[in-house]
Every structure is written in structure tokens, then in C-alpha cells.
Amino acid sequence: MTRREKPRETVKRFLIMCEGENTEPCYFKLLRDKLGLPANQIVVDVEHHSHTDPAGILQDAKSTRDARAAEVKKAKKKGDTREREYDAIWIVFDTEGPQNGRAGSLKAVRADATNDGIDVAESTPSFEVWYLLHVKPSPPACSTGADAEGALMEAFATENERLKEENRKLKKENKKLKELCPAYGKSKADAEAVAKWALAEARTFNAVKNARATFTSGGMTRTGVHLLVEALRVQATPAAQKALGWP
């Protein structure tokens, strides 16, 4: 899905182009904040655009990159050397199912991105697979984004039943109650709630481990979001990484 597993360790400015309007941008913005990436050293730009197809998202990334380069060049002519171009550009999109016609263009998009030094974090069939891996060691088979959403809602319901039972026991022992999974939805409020839940405790570290395993398995349901998460994670302080579950 992408050209490398190892994240860069000297990146200072990211551009992340997301397909979704709420789900992905809310997640990456909160991840940026949780990692405490300082704006004066590491800037993570999460951009939303009008395209919803991989080829269009890639083109938007290139256009944004070129516009940024022109701005930096103009600033340097005025003696301002503080501005910098993007050191890393990522496009985040869903492959969806074979019925939507994307399959034929994906190979070309991946090759084009590689040639332009742009990284890819794609999910098959959708970004919801990334959230599934927070509650499951491996995702169930999903052919479409709707399948993945349904599987995620079912997984959250099952997890909540388990947590409710734990809470009954904890309440009797006067111990801290477990946090329940939020309701999954496409609104901005829902997206923010799920992102907040996903980035709590050690869930991120576990999800990365699960995603890495399924990513290399060749299964039909998988995601490369962990690659981008790792690339951002290594820019943070050890304390910030530990807060997200990294040992």
C-alpha cells in the first residue's frame, strides 16, 4: 500500500490530505495535539479538499505542495527564512469495494505518489478498519465501507457489554470505572468522540501492532494508517509517546 514501513526521523513539516470530511481530519488533528508537536518546530497541516477519489486527492496534495513552495520562495526573497516547504506529504484515502471503480486507478496512484515522494496511507475498504483494530486483533472481512462501519458498531457494542460487566465489579470494589466506547457516527461531534476514545490509554500502540500484522498478511481488510501514525509518533517526545502507550 505504501513504499516503506520505516518512518522518516528528520521530518519537520507534514502535509496530510484526507478523503473524509470529519473522521480522518478529527483523528489526525487530535493525534497531533496528543503528541504535543510544537508549532514552531514541527507543523502538521491537516487539509481537507473537494476530491474524494485517490487520484484527485493526490493531485490536490501536489497542488498544495507547489503552492507552499511558491510561498516559501516569495518569503525568502523578502529575507524571511523562517518558512519552509513540506518535508513529508501523506495522502489518506479508502479503496472501498470493487464495485466503485477505484481498483483500476489505485496502482497508478501508488506509483505516481512514489515518484513524487508522497506517502500513502490507504485503508481497504475504509478508515473504519483502523478503529476496528483498536478493539480487535484482526479485522473481520469487509467488502465495502458500509461493511466496515457495521463491523465497527458491532465491535463497539460487544466491547461496551464487556466493559459494563467489568464496571459492575469495579463499582462494588470502589475502583475506577472503565470508559465505554462512544457511539460511532459521521458527524464532527461523533468523529471527535471516537478519536478521543481511540487515543486514550494504550489503545494506539495496540492498534499499531494489530495493523502491522494485518498489513502484511495480504488479507482483503487492512489499513496502512499505522504507517502515518508511526511517522508522526517519532517526532514526539518520549513522554508523549509513552502517554499513547509506547513503551
Query: Nine-digit cell at 156?
Result: 463497539
Q: What angle do CA 140, 30, 143 make, to 5 degrees?
A: 20
The DSSP 8-state label assigned to residue 44 in this structure reads E
Residue 117 scores a pLDDT above 80: yes
In this structure, what DSSP letter does residue 185 have? -
Residue 144, classified by CB atoms within 10 Å of its CB into exposed (0-12), middle (13-18) or buried (19+), is middle
Residue owning grid cell 488533528: 29
State pLDDT tens for residues 172-200: 999 999 999 999 998 999 999 999 999 99
Residue 71: enclosing H or E segment and its boundaries?
Answer: helix 54-77
Rounded Cα–Cα distance for residues 189 and 99 (Å): 30
DSSP per residue over 197-240, as a string? HHTSTTHHHHHHHHHHHHHTTT-SSEE-HHHHHHHHHTTS-HHH
Rounded to whole angstroms, how far apart are CA atoms 142 and 126? 9
Residue pLDDT, tens place only, 210-242: 999 998 877 789 999 999 999 999 999 999 999
The predicted model gives 98-117 an average pLDDT of 83
Site of grid cell 506529504 = 89
Per-residue pLDDT at 8: 43
Range with lowest mean pLDDT among 102-106, 111-115, 132-136? 102-106
Global pTM value: 0.89
Q: Is the distance from CB of 19 to CB of 52 less than 8 angstroms?
A: yes
What pLDDT score does 157 carry? 95
How many Cβ atoms sit within 10 Å of the Cβ of residue 24?
A: 25
By CB atoms closer than 10 A (0-12, 13-18, 19+), residue 176 is exposed
Q: What are phi and psi of 47, to 5 degrees?
A: -105, 140
The pLDDT, as a whole number, for residue 9 is 45
> For residue 14, what are the β-bridge partners?
44, 88
Mean local confidence (pLDDT), 48-55: 80
Q: What is the mean pLDDT of the chain?
A: 88
34-43, 178-187, 201-210: which has the minimum mean pLDDT?
A: 34-43
Mean pLDDT of 111-125: 95
Q: Give the number of other Cβ atoms within 10 Å of residue 80's Cβ.
A: 10
Confidence of residue 4 (pLDDT cuts 50, 70, 90): very low
pLDDT greater than 80 at residue 88: yes
Look up residue 231 and give its three cell numbers: 511517522
Please report the pLDDT score of residue 11 as a whole number: 60
Stretch 50-74: mean pLDDT: 90
Cβ-proximal residues to 230 (8 Å cutoff; 6+ apart), any chain: 7, 208
Summarize pLDDT for 19-34 with one digit per residue, the tens: 888 999 999 999 999 9
> How many Å apart are CA 28 and CA 147, to the nearest integer?
23
Per-residue pLDDT at 43: 78
> What pLDDT, on the 0 to 100 scale, is given for residue 247?
87
